[in-house]
Amino acid sequence: MLSEDQIRDRAKYCYLVFLQLSWLHSNDDIPPEQYIRQLGESSLQLASDDFIRMTIEEALMENMPDGGLLSLMPLFEGFAHAFCEVLETTIDEIKNDISNELLIKLAEEVGVKPDI
**Domain residue limits, the chain:** 4-109
Q: How far apart are CA 21 and CA 59, in angstroms?
A: 15
d(CA 96, CA 1): 25
pTM above 0.85, yes or no: yes
**Are 9 and 93 spatial neighbours (Cβ–Cβ below 8 Å)?**
no
pLDDT, one tens digit per residue, over 37-85 is 999 999 999 999 999 999 999 999 999 999 999 999 999 999 999 999 9
Whole-angstrom Cα distance, residue 26 to residue 1? 37
Residue 35 burial (CB count, 10 A): 28
